[in-house]
A and B are shown apart, each in its own frame.
Chain A
Amino acid sequence: MKRDDLRQLLLEELGNLAPEADLGAVPPDVDLREALDLDSMDFLNLVMALHKRLAIDIPERDYAELRTIDGAIEYLTARAKN
């Protein structure tokens, strides 16, 4: 999966969690939990959605790498096949 497609998919899932947010205005390097007011349940739901859609394993110890848009795209690009 291409980087742009992964970005699209990530933004889509973030939009599901924070429907009122203007995702285009979120700087790619800030903590999403802060920028979008995500709690630990929201973050777990994000991980669940990414796990389901991309069929990749995301262990808890990797959560820190998913905290920003840039970080998450980097992480997903390295792991998502095809």
Chain B
Amino acid sequence: MGEFVMPSLGADMEAGILVEWLKRPGETVTRGDIVAVVETDKGAIEVEIFEDAIIDRLLVDVGTKVPVGTPLASLRTIGQAGAVGPVAAAPPGAAAPKEQATPLPPPSATIVRPAARPAGMPAAGDATRPYASPAARRIALERGVDLSGVIGSGPGGAVISIDVEKAAGATKPRAAERGPDLAAMRRAIGAAMARSKREIPHYYLSRVIDLTKATAWLESANAPRAPAERLLLQVLTLRAVALALRSRSGFNGFHTATGFRPSERIHIGTAVAIRGGGLVAPAIHDVDRLTLDELMGRLRDLVARVRAGTLRSSELTDPTVTVSSLGERGADALFGIIYPPQVAIFGFGAPALRPWVVGSAIEPRTIMTASLAADHRVTDGHAGSLLLADLDRLLQQPAQL
């Protein structure tokens, strides 16, 4: 028997609200399947499972906020008989078959919904059934509010009548609001960055890179392409970072209590701004193994999902290094703060046309300042300089990327 727990989706997360179950007890799941949706400061995140198993019991009801590490569902190995699974335990009542045919409620129905729980849920109620006052229970029954989805404000977190009134009156349940709580995100970013500055001895380097060849290559590559097939400069810089990291150790991986653990795979946390403020840096996986077109596809998909608020848990926990690009309207340079437990972050300023010495002449060239902030516990400025030099060299041969 295993457990599916509330994941930690980053150094800054303490708890999450379960907003949707996408699998039901008795269903077989495969590693990588999305099992649940959890609401965090970063918006609604689709949570994947990391083993092949059968969902045994759902332990937490929709709408409940639980700390990181809390078991959300019990699992059984494939082939193992279900012991107390609700599907097996459900009484052969008339309601059961009917409920089984009903799809899972959409998020909008998570807090205010008929008082009768779906047949798949009752076993979970014993463990997580909320304390509620008799008055609250009566009102809940009258108004069709599921108490398990109500956050109690009474003694010991008990649900009292006013909580039920609020839940019943909520025209738009919180869980339905896909997209991040920007104030909470700002606090979370602040906490993670304060921890980083406290614990990680950063050093900072910058290198001015001539992107004239890269932008010229991009222009000719894009010229015959329809807009949907065109590449962005960011794809070239991401790819160059991945290739540079492949040959220099000490920048890609995690630093934990036991020291630095390098990562074989290169998952680049790609900072994407959220409209209205805030940002996330979800991973694009295995960037060193993607072609430029594949990478563009991933980047496009990632940006679209950041905007829509549908990121996956692995994208938030997997980045082994981060890249933040300010884009063409941004400042000249950006010096990042490392996102723990990573050990390096690249910052790319806005490319701009500048006077530049080429041979013995001054020419207008497209110039960009690239920066690297890295962790002194793992590397030093000399190694970082070599990494930036590699990056520069790679960007001078865009056709090889």
Contact = CB atoms under 8 A, between A and B. Distances in A.
Interface stretch (A3-11, A22-30, A44-52, A70-78): A44-52
Interface in A20-39: 20, 33-34, 37, 39
Contacts, number: 37
Interface in B257-315: 273, 275-276, 299-300, 303
A61 B233 CA distance: 15
B234 A40 contact: yes
B358 interface: no
B268 to A, nearest CB: 16
Nearest to B273: A39
Given A20-B275, A20-B276, A60-B222, A40 B227 contact: no
B230 interface: yes
B327 A58 contact: no
Given A40-B327, A41-B303, A60 B276 contact: no
A40 B219 contact: no
B228 A34 contact: no
A61 B224 CA distance: 12
Interface in B148-178: none
Contact of B300 (A34, A41, A51): A41
Nearest to B228: A48
A26 B348 CA distance: 29
A40 B223 contact: no
B357 interface: no
B227 A58 contact: yes
B227 A48 contact: yes
Contacts of B329: 33-34, 39
Given A34-B329, A51-B227, A60-B219, A18 B275 contact: yes
Contacts of B300: 41
Contacts of B299: 41
B139 interface: no
A59 to B, nearest CB: 7
Interface string B307-335: 00000000000000000000111000000
Nearest to A59: B223
Contacts of B219: 60-61
B192 interface: no
B94 interface: no
B34 to A, nearest CB: 24
B327 A44 contact: no
B226 interface: yes
Interface in B204-260: 219, 222-223, 226-228, 230, 232-234
A33 B299 CA distance: 19
Most chain B Cβ neighbours within 10 Å, of A34, A40, A41, A47? A41
A40 B230 contact: no
A33 B233 CA distance: 17
Contact of A44 (B230, B273, B275, B276): B230
B200 to A, nearest CB: 28
Contacts of A51: 226-228
A48 B225 CA distance: 11
A65 to B, nearest CB: 15
B275 A37 contact: yes
Interface of B: 219, 222-223, 226-228, 230, 232-234, 273, 275-276, 299-300, 303, 327-329
15 contacts: A18-B275, A20-B275, A20-B276, A37-B273, A37-B275, A39-B327, A41-B299, A44-B227, A44-B232, A48-B227, A51-B226, A51-B228, A58-B227, A60-B230, A61-B219
Given A33-B329, A39-B327, 18 more contacts: A19-B275, A33-B328, A39-B329, A40-B233, A40-B327, A40-B328, A41-B232, A41-B303, A44-B230, A44-B232, A48-B228, A51-B227, A58-B227, A59-B223, A60-B222, A60-B223, A60-B230, A61-B219
The 8 A-B residue pairs whose C-beta atoms are closest, nearest first, are A48-B227, A47-B227, A51-B227, A39-B327, A41-B303, A60-B222, A48-B228, A40-B232
Interface of A: 18-20, 33-34, 37, 39-41, 44, 47-48, 51, 58-61
